[in-house]
Amino acid sequence: MLNLESLLIRFEHLLPPPHAELNWAAPAFRWRKKIVLGTSVGWLEAIHHPHKIQLADLQNVEPQKAEIARNTRQFVQGRLANNVLLTGTRGTGKSSLVKAVLHEYVSQGLRLVEVDKDDLCDLADIVALLAPRPERFIVFCDDLSFEEGEGGYKALKSVLDGSVAATSSNVLIYATSNRRHLLPEYFDENLKTRHVDGEIHPADAVEEKISLSERFGLWLSFYPFTQDEYLVAARHWLAEFGVRQWDETTERAALNWALGRGSRSGRVAWQFARDLAGRGKTDRVISRPSPHGKDSGDPCQP
């Protein structure tokens, strides 16, 4: 039979690490959750080696890059700044831009806290944990969208600016989404103007659905790549992986790869380059002209 000390040791292993032991010098953190004795418990986990990407690596998103860099620079300097919603086509650099601003400003005290959409109900607790710290935190939620009835929607809305408590000056929320309106809207909602199902003010219900997006002070939109932009990205990543040949055969292979994926984006270009480089074709070196007449670099990191 296990003695009391052994039981306590086993129970201690079930518990998350205490916040007092957290290494706040880490550049990034992730909110983790587990069920302990039937109760959901959350804690911050330090990430000492986050994915590094530089702002200079991101091309063909210059307006978006300039805006998010300006907003983040104001934030780390202690000036007023806005929460940011990055929306648009998948694979065009939304998440990478958030990672890039972390890399750019981490030496100035910026930190990133990644929170899964399913854990947004804990957002108020996370902000309360970060508020006393001297660092500046971006709470990052990737691929954000909600279905009807999900609780994280109201939690996020409250933290953005709807709570009676003042928002913490050292916390901003950056979120990415493939759609601008974060809750689904339906054509039949227009029918509710005839008071279907007893709704007296149906327009208010529709307004409720778009109000979450409007609580982000800065919107950045991302658009599909043109063929030339996609090829520039493919050439860049091939060069990064040691394949410096670019000819008609390689270009055709890149286009066929995008056709097979049904998309032209920086992510697809990165995947194509990894595939080609992984086949061992790293010993051929020639110039790699750009369709724009110059080497433009990478428009997107996956």
Q: If DSSP codes are grouped into helix, strand and coil, which group holds residue 220?
A: strand
pLDDT of 274-296, one tens digit each?
A: 999 998 754 444 333 444 443 33
pLDDT-derived band at 189 (thresholds 50, 70, 90) equals: very low
In this model, does residue 298 exceed pLDDT 50? no
pLDDT (mean) for 114-136: 92
CA–CA separation, 144 vs 9, rounded Å? Answer: 39
Widest CA span in the chain: 77
* CATH of region 55-222, choose from 3.40.630.30, 3.50.50.60, 3.40.50.720, 3.40.50.300: 3.40.50.300
CA dist 76 to 16, 20, 137, Å? Answer: 30, 24, 9
Q: Is residue 27 predicted with pLDDT exceeding 80?
A: yes
Q: Using 50, 70 and 90 to split pLDDT, how confident is the model at 160?
A: confident
Alpha helices in the chain (DSSP H): 4-14, 62-76, 94-105, 123-130, 152-157, 202-214, 227-240, 248-261, 266-278
- Return the closest-CA partner of residue 53 out of 87, 21, 97, 90: 97
Distance CA 216, CA 230 (A): 30
Domain ranges of the chain: 55-222, 226-302
pLDDT value for 164: 55
pTM, two decimals, is 0.76
Alpha-carbon gap, residue 57 to 96, rounded angstroms: 10
Contact present, 112 and 140 (Cβ < 8 Å):
yes
